[in-house]
Amino acid sequence: MLKVGDKAPDFKLLSEHGKEVTLKKLKGHKVVLYFYPKDDTSGCTQEACDFKDSIKVFEKKETVVIGVSRDSVESHKKFKIKYELPFTLLSDESTTMLEEYGVWKEKSMYGRKYMGIERTTLLIDEKGKIKEIWNKVKVPGHIEAILTKL
């Protein structure tokens, strides 16, 4: 389980444009890495649009915003276009990175158990260290909580 102060695990995932993104290449930037369950669902759309609405503030604070889910590159591309999202979305269909970050968990809905992404956000500093972790994120007010930490 990752905790504040840990070095964030490097990753190599494809963006919505099919380009490879690694944490190592983002060194020197603060990174908000947010994990969400599924493209184009109500909570995930609201969260993405909240990030979009505040992107200028993140940019002023020299912070890169990246969303990660298990959806395909093609799904991310459609989601990004539909909502005009101004940040990168990464695809982890294999769940390798999701498991490494501890967000791929057993969930339960209507008594049925299944594996899925627990909505989580990490703030990573310029040196790759985890500065803050928000687990079991509730979308309303979340952006404000992140901006307060920046």
Core vs surface per residue 13-38: b (16+ CB within 10 A) or e: bbbbeeeebebeebeeebbbbbbbbb
44 is catalytic: yes
For residues 72 and 47, is the Cβ–Cβ distance under 8 A?
no
**Where do we find the tokens 């920046």?**
150
Q: Give 52's DSSP letter.
A: H
Active-site entry in 21, 44, 89, 90: 44
CA atoms lying within 13 Å on the CB side of residue 38: 5
| DSSP assigned state of 9 | P
Catalytic center residues: 44
